Structure 1
């Protein structure tokens, strides 16, 4: 498979993931929407179904949609990122770039869909929360630990599905994301995906959002470092476990 197809597949899949994921947050959080105050569990389910949609769209590229998943596959000892997509420096950069671009575009489209509600929302922090994650209690060290744990669960379990994206493949991933959000999402909002957080945060910084305030760059490294470390650990554990459990 050409890297051009991989790139387009990951862009479109990650765009769908971010559009629907940021969209459910907007629906719950922004003033005057039909879903306002729908609650955190609605956000969990919305993100889970957003991931499922993105996985279907990006089936050809293996539907990473997440640099932490790409890193997890790399650290697991695999030789291919997807069928006929060998692991190379170039293919790794292709996945990373596509995931970032797709996440950015999805956030921009979400803003367009909710433009009037962004204009009416008085709280700048609420607007930022549609685009990117933030901690319930700001303690960078513990916030990183939370993101490492959540992303470790994501990657470790995904690497044990083994069924690819055929049939019901995307559904277990969706349910896994719901489970992580409902159980581990409280402290940081469970980014568990560097592109999902950084791409929309850049969109927030660049878009002409009325009264948007700061993009909180001082926190932005947490949902990058934590998921990358967690993804790498998940891949390493998935590689190690079969060697000791026979």
Structure 2
């Protein structure tokens, strides 16, 4: 049973990153049909990636796909702490696999001369203005919105049955359109950390630095935001 849950988290996160970072690669890398199509395409692509990932994983594992959500759920007593390490490992492993698949899909395009920032954007996030404290606050706010909204949607009275993944995707779309331009809206530690590891490992010409100095922000910020969301949810539930 546990392995079934972990496999669900792994596959769901793999699809999340394959489609999410896939749309970024489609927009950023040279000589794709979507090259230069912009932020709106990226935000809609990520929202649909969330829909697919959560839809695929929901029956097996609950479709967390995000350590911030898993930790927050455990913190309010709605998920076993014993399962948290396994879920997080499955999520990060899935994120790494998804990034590997993006690289394989766009292999010929990565081989072309691309700006290092454009390459890195297809893996992990970077702030538009680098101020670590403010970047952290932005990630806390974005993750709070995501986790709190999902907690409210988890009420059985609000269920859409097999379409429960759709409102989650719409929340991610709203966050991307409204708040995402500040830090690239990681709002998910696995979404940023797994691909950042792959960026550092894969042999991509001209890829530049993996920017590990910034890597703690999209990990710590979403966890704090998720925990705050859990506290507020309990206060008003």
What TM-score do the two structures reach when normalised by structure 2? Answer: 0.96
- 2:149 aligned to which of 126, 151, 157: 157
Alignment length, in residue pairs?
A: 233
User: What is the correspondence of 1:188-207 to structure 2 with a 5 Å cutoff?
Assistant: 188-207=183-202
- Where do residues 1-246 of structure 1 align in structure 2 (5 Å cutoff)? 2-59=1-58, 60-78=60-78, 81=79, 87-89=80-82, 91-162=83-154, 163=156, 166-242=161-237
Whether the 8 Å contact between 1:121 and 1:127 is mirrored in structure 2 is: no
Structure 1, residues 54-99: CA drift from partner, whole Å, max 9, x if none? Answer: 0111111000000011012122332xx3xxxxx132x111111000
Q: Distance in 2 between matches of 1:52 and 1:29?
A: 22
2:138–2:183: 8 Å Cα contact kept in structure 1? yes
Instruction: State how far apart, in whole Å, the 2-side matches of 1:92 and 1:113 are.
Output: 31
CA shift digits 1:161-197 (9 cap, x unpaired): 1246732201101111000000010110000000000
CA distance, structure 2, for counterparts of residue 116 and residue 46 of structure 1: 21
CA distances 1:197-223 after superposition (whole Å, capped 9, x unpaired): 000000011111111111000000000
What is the alpha-carbon distance in structure 2 between the residues aligned to residue 200 and residue 121 of structure 1?
21
Where 1:120 maps in the other structure, the secondary structure is: coil
* 2:122 partner SS: helix
Q: In 1, distance between residues paired with 2:48 and 2:90? A: 21
Give distance in 1, aligned partners of 2:150 and 2:77.
15
Q: Aligned partners of 1:122 and 1:42: how far apart in 2?
A: 20
How many Å separate the matches in 2 of 1:123 and 1:111? 16
Distance, in Å, in 1 between the alignment partners of 2:221 and 2:81 is: 24
Structure 1: runs of 5 or more not aligned: 82-86
Counterpart contact for 2:29–2:114, Cα < 8 Å: no
